[in-house]
Structure 1
Amino acid sequence: MTKTILLAVSGSISAYKAADLTNQLTKQGYDVHVLMTKAATDFITPLTLQVLSKNAVHLDVMTENDPKSVNHIELAKKADLFVLAPASANTLAKLAHGMADNMVTATALALPADTPKLIAPAMNTKMYENPLTQRNLAILKEVGFEEIEPRSSLLACGDIGRGALAELDAIIERIEKNL
């Protein structure tokens, strides 16, 4: 039976890596449905992820293509796994505080409690290490999210430190472990 993965992409320069992640997961036989925040679409086009996933990309929580169902609820029901990669500080904060103002956060809040949930942060070192971000990560871990920790690296902003998206092999390994 094919497993369904909801791949949520938020606004980070690492969003371009979602294309490779989507491609690898699809080639491995997973049914990948991509959800994007508005900020994510500034880094990578939805069309790229649609072509690679072979599924429509979900952008707006208020867009309902089928009047018989509520899109974010139906997606949450069919998910075998939810992966937020990259997870921006903004999206982590929204999730930790129960905000549902976009497709990613609304779908995440609609997930059944037993659905595995992975988050792979990607941001500047100072943002990642900020006590508020660390508190938000702790809240998310308390309610069942599992963090795939970022790497230390030369970041897009020129800083060196922890905050780079985990290697895709590490993300895929965690996905497979949770499925």
Structure 2
Amino acid sequence: MTKTITLAVSGSISAYKAADLSNRLTKLGYDVHVLMTQAATAFITPLTLQVLSKNPVHVDLMQEEDAKRINHIELAKQTDLFILAPASANTIAHLAHGFADNMVTAVALALAEDRPKLLAPAMNTKMYDNPITQANLQILKENGYDEIEPRSSVLACGDTGRGALAELDIIVKKIEEKVYE
């Protein structure tokens, strides 16, 4: 039986890596459905992710293609594993505090409790290490999210430190471990 991976992409320079992640997961036989925040579309186009996932990409929470179904609820029901990669500080904060103001957070909040949920943060070191971000990550961990920790690297801003998106091989491995638990 084909497993459905919901790949949520938020506004980080690492959003471009979602193309490769989507492509890898599709080639592994997963049914990949992509959600994007509006900020993510500034870094990578929905069309790119649609071509690679072979499924429509969902950005607008209020766009309902079928009047008989509520899109974000149906997407949550179909999800076997949810991953937010990259996870920006903003989207982490929204999730931790229950905001459902975009497609990513609305689907995440509608997920069944037993669904595996992963997040792979990507942001500036100071943003990642900020006590507020760390507290938000702790809230999400207490609510069933597993963090794929960022790596240390030279970041897009030129700073060096922890905050770069984890290597895609590590992310794919974690997805495969979790989806079949």
User: So what's the TM-score if we normalise by structure 2?
Assistant: 0.99
- Determine the C-alpha separation between the residues in 2 that align with 1:38 and 1:63: 13
- Determine the C-alpha separation between the residues in 2 that align with 1:159 and 1:102: 30
Aligned length: 179
2:147 is aligned to 147
- Determine the C-alpha separation between the residues in 1 that align with 2:156 and 2:88: 14
Moved beyond 2 Å, runs of 4+: none
- Determine the C-alpha separation between the residues in 1 that align with 2:40 and 2:97: 20
Can you give the 5+ residue segments of structure 1 that lack an aligned partner in the other structure? none
User: So what's the TM-score if we normalise by structure 1?
Assistant: 1.00
2:82 is aligned to 82
Q: How far is 1:88 from its partner?
A: 0.1
1:170 is aligned to 170
Can you give the 5+ residue segments of structure 2 that lack an aligned partner in the other structure? none
- Determine the C-alpha separation between the residues in 1 that align with 2:105 and 2:78: 16
SS in 2 for 1:55: coil
1:12 is aligned to 12
RMSD of the TM alignment (CA)?
0.3
Identity %: 77
SS in 2 for 1:84: strand
Q: Which amino acid aligns with 1:50?
A: Q
Q: How far is 1:152 from its partner?
A: 0.2
- Determine the C-alpha separation between the residues in 2 that align with 1:139 and 1:25: 28
Q: Which amino acid aligns with 2:115?
A: T
- Determine the C-alpha separation between the residues in 2 that align with 1:12 and 1:59: 15
Q: Which amino acid aligns with 2:103?
A: M
Q: How far is 1:74 from its partner?
A: 0.2
2:24 is aligned to 24
Q: Deviations over 1:112-131 (max 9, x none)?
A: 00000000000000000000
How do residues 83-102 of structure 1 correspond to structure 2 at under 5 angstroms? Answer: 83-102=83-102
How do residues 117-132 of structure 1 correspond to structure 2 at under 5 angstroms? Answer: 117-132=117-132
Q: Deviations over 1:106-156 (max 9, x none)?
A: 000000000000000000000000000000000000000000000000000
- Determine the C-alpha separation between the residues in 1 that align with 2:33 and 2:131: 32
Q: How far is 1:87 from its partner?
A: 0.1
2:35 is aligned to 35
